[in-house]
Amino acid sequence: MSELQIAAVLFLVTFAVLFSGVPIAFGLTAVAVGFLAIFGNEGALAAVPKSFISELSSFALLTLPMFVVLGAAIGMSRAGKDIYESLHRWLHRVPGGLVIANIFACGLFSAMCGSSPATAAAIGKAGIPAMLQRGVPARLAAGSIAAGGSLGILIPPSMTFIIYGIVTETSIGRLFLAGVVPGILLVLLFSVYSWFASIKETRQAGPVVHEHYSLRDKLAGLVRTFPFLAIIVAVTTVMYGGFATPSEVAGIAAFMALVLVILIYRTRLSDLWAIMRDASRESSMILLIVAAAALYSYMMSYLYVTQSVADWMFGWNLGTWQLVVVLNLFLLLAGFFMPAVAIILMSMPFLLPVLTQNHVDLVWFGVILTINLEIGLIHPPVGLNLFVIRGIAPQVPLRDVMLGVVPFIVIMLLFIAMLTVFPQVVTWLPDTLMGRAL
């Protein structure tokens, strides 16, 4: 078989294995070892243990378990509900203020957590019942939380950016900065849509009776959120002020989150055990996936699959714009069927040479890729956030959840087009604070 034929078979087998529900790490390892055994030789198989283990020695991987601890600690607390309640008190008189408060809360929680499903679950548990109780349409309530929760992989700290940075050897700090402005803009765009949708709904439903909160009530609501906002400020200052590396910042942030959870929410010892247990499980899973992906990349390189696919794509003679359109379509379609981590680990080994050859900014592409993966999180059949919402709000039919995210998907598609035309939206902040990348 030629290298391209091997690549076609490899893609189909990998897709089938991952779509079957086999854990990603085990699936990638099995495919890699199987193809090396069939198309390689004994020398190739002898390098499997070294390839698997050597990837885990990277210092950059320390960011993963630390940020997982950060997310687990905050997710275990009432921080999500407190953030939502505080924002609601300030925005309750704005048309759609309840929905906007939830979207803003998703943005803030994402900046502390870094996980989309965790963000959707933490904010949705309190937000969706409150919105339904106050007459917000079920589709808007569920759709706004599902879409707002997807911001967890865009607004730093983002697990997606960390894995993408490790795979492509791109600065994680620069990727974090690149996600800030697009993340804020998406929060604002989601809020604007919710405002218009709520005005239309209010006109049809008639006048709304607003709750009353005094200034004292509003300020009291901020007390519990300030310490967690301090984590965001501390992480931003320490990392981008050049005082520490991303790995060190992750450790600082995890420690601060644990301290605040203990002091503010009086977390018991049993809860701390649960935090560490869940964080250990998730970290182990992610690290195994990273190691398996390194083995998978080694297999593709050894069998000359990566180089052949790259040469084949070069033969299309696509311009930069055409290439970007093709890659966006590929990422969107892949996101309909596979989780974000699997897409990055499976596709980047052969996409990286193509991007480099066409002088595509890897930081910019990392943001574009992440927004595409966000759409995958709220689009069936995988659509993890859809099932998270269904789990925490069983009173909302899955059909309403799916229809509710459609306007937000359209917004994200238009936003990708805008970032393609104006890449400076992504690159301005990292270039300003860290200097232009060479």
Token readout for 236 is 């931003």
Structure tokens at 106: 């998703």
- Which range is most confident: 319-328, 343-352, 353-362? 353-362
Give the residue with greater pLDDT, 88 vs 292. Answer: 292
Residue at token pair 């050597």: 54
Average pLDDT over residues 158-183: 88
Which whole number is the average pLDDT over 62-90?
Answer: 76
- Whether the bond into 423 is cis, omega within 30 of 0: no
164 or 76: which leads in pLDDT: 164
Examine the pLDDT at 346 and tell me if it is beyond 80.
Answer: no
Spatial distance between the Cα atoms of 336 and 382, rounded to a whole number of angstroms: 6
CA distance 257 to 43: 47
Between residues 195 and 333, which one has the greater pLDDT? 195
Min mean pLDDT across 146-150, 176-180, 234-238 is at: 234-238
Helices 398-421 and 384-392, packing angle to 10 deg:
140
Q: How confident is the model at residue 348 (pLDDT cuts 50, 70, 90)?
A: confident
Residue 406 has pLDDT above 50, yes or no: yes
Q: Mutual orientation of helices 340-357 and 305-314 as an angle, nearest 10°?
A: 60
Average pLDDT along the chain: 80
Query: Residue 235 above 70 pLDDT?
Result: yes
Q: Is the pLDDT of residue 209 over 60?
A: no
Q: Which residue has the higher pLDDT, 22 or 193?
A: 193
pLDDT band with cut points at 50, 70 and 90 for residue 379? confident
Q: Reduced to 3 states, what is the DSSP secondary structure of residue 117?
A: helix
Q: What amino acid occupies position 125?
A: K
Most confident of 161-165, 260-264, 340-344, 388-392: 161-165
pLDDT beyond 70 at 381: no
pLDDT (average), residues 28-57: 81
Contact 302, 44 (CB under 8 A): yes
pTM of the model: 0.79
CB-facing half-sphere around the CA of 115: CA atoms within 13 A: 24
What average pLDDT does this structure show over 143-158? 86
Cβ pair 305, 3 in contact under 8 A: yes
Q: What's the rounded mean pLDDT across residues 222-237?
A: 74
Q: Is 278 helix (H, G, I), strand (E, B) or coil?
A: helix
CA distance 396 to 125: 13
Q: For residues 39 and 6, is the Cβ–Cβ distance under 8 A?
A: yes
Q: Can you tell me which residue has the tokens 């311009």?
A: 319
- Report the pLDDT averaged over residues 254-269: 80
Q: Check if the beta carbon of residue 91 is closer than 8 Å to that of residue 97.
A: yes
For residues 105-112, average pLDDT: 81
- What are the tokens at 259? 């301290």
Q: In terms of pLDDT, which residue wins out, 290 or 174?
A: 174
CA gap 402, 379 in Å, rounded: 7
Q: Residue 206's pLDDT is what?
A: 47
How confident is the model over 94-108, as a mean pLDDT?
82
Q: 316 and 356 in contact (C-beta within 8 Å)?
A: no
